[in-house]
């Protein structure tokens, strides 16, 4: 018995959808094999369509053409990956904090970056609690690597203090170093750190971090 044109069209659409889903799934596993991704970041990469070179046209090398149900497919795929523990915001947060800590970034910067990935605040607090007693020592180490000997003047310390706040350290972490080297003389510098820390952190993050994320490749972990 021959199928009606409507049935053939429906089968063709189903076949196209299945093909698209498998392509999305393959891309997701490829990305996850390089490093951990947050659900937010993975969603953005799966939905990305490269702009066409032709005016008024949209071209997607992965999907070939536009699909109205692509966002729904991506959400279904993200749920599948999370259920299979192939994608985990917890593992992403742990990896991100570990990498950025060893890269000399402070807690203000880390919290900002994780918030951009839409990581739950409770999860951020839980993972970052492991570093709570380490920030002051890290700030001192970062300052030492960048500038060497202790600053010889108040002006030199002001410059180094601004550098540390751009790296995401708070007035508490910076102030402990100042107190041990300058006494109360640096108090007025440190009072201004928190007022401007977020501004510096956001500017630096927007300029450099996305490239760093995409260029990093960890050992392969996930296979489809």
Please state the rounded mean pLDDT for residues 48-70.
59
pLDDT at 174: 85
Q: Which of 74, 105, 131 is the last residue of a domain?
A: 131
For residue 47, what are the domain limits?
A: 7-83
Tell me the CATH number at 46: 1.10.10
Provide the CB-side half-sphere exposure for 102 (13 A, CA): 5
In a domain, 203, yes or no: yes
Write out pLDDT tens, residues 171-206: 888 876 666 666 554 544 445 444 444 455 545 554
Write out pLDDT tens, residues 133-180: 999 999 999 999 999 988 888 888 889 999 999 999 998 888 766 666
Q: H-helix or E-strand containing 177?
A: helix 171-182
155: Cβ contacts below 8 Å, ≥ 6 apart: none
Q: Which residue has the tokens 């599948």?
A: 80
Judge if 11 and 40 occupy the same domain.
yes
pLDDT at 194: 45
- Using CA atoms, how far apart are residues 178 and 186, in angstroms rounded to an integer? 6
Confidence band of 16 (pLDDT split at 50, 70, 90): confident
pLDDT at 207: 46
The terminus-to-terminus CA distance of the chain in angstroms comes to: 38
In a domain, 79, yes or no: yes
In a domain, 221, yes or no: no
The CA dihedral of 150, 152, 158, 159, to the nearest 10 degrees, is -70
In a domain, 122, yes or no: yes
Provide the whole-model pTM. 0.72
Confidence band of 221 (pLDDT split at 50, 70, 90): low
Alpha helices in 121-183 (DSSP H): 121-128, 135-147, 154-166, 171-182
pLDDT at 175: 78
| Residue 100 vs residue 187, higher pLDDT | 100
Q: Which of 99, 131, 163 is the last residue of a domain?
A: 131
pLDDT at 10: 53
């Amino acid at each position: 018995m021959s199928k009606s044109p409507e049935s053939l069209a429906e089968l063709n659409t189903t076949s196209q959808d299945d093909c698209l889903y498998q392509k999305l799934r393959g891309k997701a596993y490829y990305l996850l094999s390089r490093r951990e991704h947050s659900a937010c970041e993975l969603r953005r990469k799966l939905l990305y369509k490269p702009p066409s070179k032709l005016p008024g046209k949209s071209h997607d090398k992965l999907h070939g053409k536009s699909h109205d149900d692509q966002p729904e497919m991506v959400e279904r795929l993200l749920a599948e990956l999370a259920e299979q523990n192939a994608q985990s915001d917890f593992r992403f947060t742990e990896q991100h904090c570990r990498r950025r800590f060893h890269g000399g970034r402070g807690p203000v910067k880390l919290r900002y970056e994780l918030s951009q990935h839409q990581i739950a605040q409770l999860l951020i607090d839980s993972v970052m609690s492991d570093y709570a007693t380490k920030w002051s020592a890290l700030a001192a180490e970062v300052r030492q690597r960048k500038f060497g000997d202790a600053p010889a003047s108040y002006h030199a310390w002001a410059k180094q203090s601004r550098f540390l706040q751009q790296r995401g350290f708070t007035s508490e972490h910076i102030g402990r170093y100042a107190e041990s080297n300058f006494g109360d003389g640096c108090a007025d510098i440190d009072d201004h750190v928190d007022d401007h820390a977020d501004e510096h952190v956001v500017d630096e993050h927007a300029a450099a971090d996305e490239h760093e994320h995409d260029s990093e490749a960890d050992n392969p972990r996930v296979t489809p």
